């Protein structure tokens, strides 16, 4: 499991699209994430570790599927709580950022019309 390294995280973060950066730094995400950790009754140390692991996922240095095993193994939560925490974090933290990324990708992806070569000699279809 990837260990948190601020420099590496920050380096990846600065390379993210600005929209994704904004989504990660949004107040709404921070609030929801804090509420999720609060509902899971994590301790101060557990919250620090949970935040760092989620940050790794957000900047792409870790995978989302590893978060549940992290919650189970590293945070010492039972399976039920770990699963609920993972589900909530996915819903309130990962999914909004993922959606922001998808939006950026959708904007950047050229459409079929853009890529289609026009034939100046072809007569238009009647």
Partner 1 sequence: MTYTRSIFRTVTTFILVVVMLLGVAGPTLASTSLGSDGLGSMTSHVSRATAELDTLNFDCASQGFSLKALSCAGAAMSYYTMLGSSKLAGVGGILLNIAIQELVVNYGLLVNELSTTTGAVWVTWKLLRDLADIILVFVLVFIGIATIVGANRFGYKQMLFKVIIAALLVNFSITLAKFVIDVGNSLAIATYAELIQLEPAAHGGAGNDACWTSSAIGTVSAGDATTKVCIERGIAAMFMEKLKINTLFSATGVAGMSGNTVDSSSYDKVLWVGFFGTIFFLILGFVLAAGGVLLIGRAIILLMLIIFSPIAFLAWVTNISRIGSFWWNKLLGQTFFAPFMFLAWYIAYRVIGSTADLLGGTDMNYATSLEQIGGATAAPDVGLFDIFMVFAIASGFLILGLIVAQRMGAAGANATMRMGRNMARASGGFMYAHTAGRASAFAAERYRRHAAKMQEMDGDNYKRNSAFARAYRGLGVGKGGKVDRYTQAALGAGATHGVLGAKSFSQRHADDIRASGERNAELTTVARQNNLRDAAQVVRDYETLDGNGGFTPKEYEAAKTTVGTASTGDIEAVRQTNRGLMNHESVVNNIGKAQATALSKDEKLRGTEKVAHATSAYKNEQDAIKRVTEIQKALANGDPLPDGMDVGEVEKHIRKMTPTDVKNNKILFAKNPAAMRYVSPDMFSSIVSNKDDTWSPEQIDSFRKERYGDLQEKLGEAPGDEDTQKMVHGMDNKDLEMVGDDTYATAGFWENLDQRQYNHLTRTKRSNFTPTQLEFAANARKAHFANMDPDKLQTSLKSMRGEELAGLDKETLAKGAPGLNPGALNELSKHASSEKMDAVEEEIRTKYEPVQEKLAAHKQAMDEYEQKLRKAKGRATVTGTGERSGDDAVSAVEKTKPQAPQLSREEQQIVKLHKWFNPEGGRPHV
Q: Which stretches of the chain bind partner 1, using CB under 8 A?
A: 4, 6-7, 9-11, 13-14, 18, 21-22, 24-25, 29-37, 44, 47-48, 51-52, 54-55, 58-59, 93
Quick one: 27 or 123, whose CB is closer to partner 1?
A: 27
* Shortest distance, position 70 Cβ to partner 1, whole Å: 15
* Shortest distance, position 96 Cβ to partner 1, whole Å: 12
φ, ψ of residue 46 to 5 degrees: the values are -65, -40
Quick one: 36 or 86, whose CB is closer to partner 1?
A: 36
* Shortest distance, position 103 Cβ to partner 1, whole Å: 18
3 state DSSP class of 38? helix
Helix locations, 1-126, DSSP H: 6-15, 18-24, 27-39, 44-58, 65-73, 79-89, 95-108, 112-115
34's CB contacts (< 8 A; 6+ apart) are: none
Identify which of 60, 78, 58, 59 has the alpha carbon closest to the alpha carbon of residue 68. 78
Other Cβ atoms closer than 10 A to 59: 21
* Shortest distance, position 72 Cβ to partner 1, whole Å: 21
């Amino acid at each position: 499991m990837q260990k948190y390294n601020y420099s590496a995280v920050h380096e990846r973060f600065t390379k993210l699209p600005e929209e994704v950066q904004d989504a990660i730094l949004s107040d709404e995400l921070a609030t929801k994430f804090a509420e999720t950790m609060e509902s899971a009754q994590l301790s101060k140390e557990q919250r620090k570790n949970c935040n760092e692991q989620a940050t790794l996922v957000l900047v792409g240095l870790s995978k989302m599927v590893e978060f549940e095993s992290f919650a189970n193994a590293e945070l010492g939560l039972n399976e039920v709580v770990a699963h609920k925490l993972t589900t909530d974090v996915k819903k309130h933290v990962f999914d909004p950022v993922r959606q922001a990324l998808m939006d950026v990708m959708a904007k950047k992806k050229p459409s079929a019309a853009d890529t289609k070569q026009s034939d100046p000699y072809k007569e238009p279809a009647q």
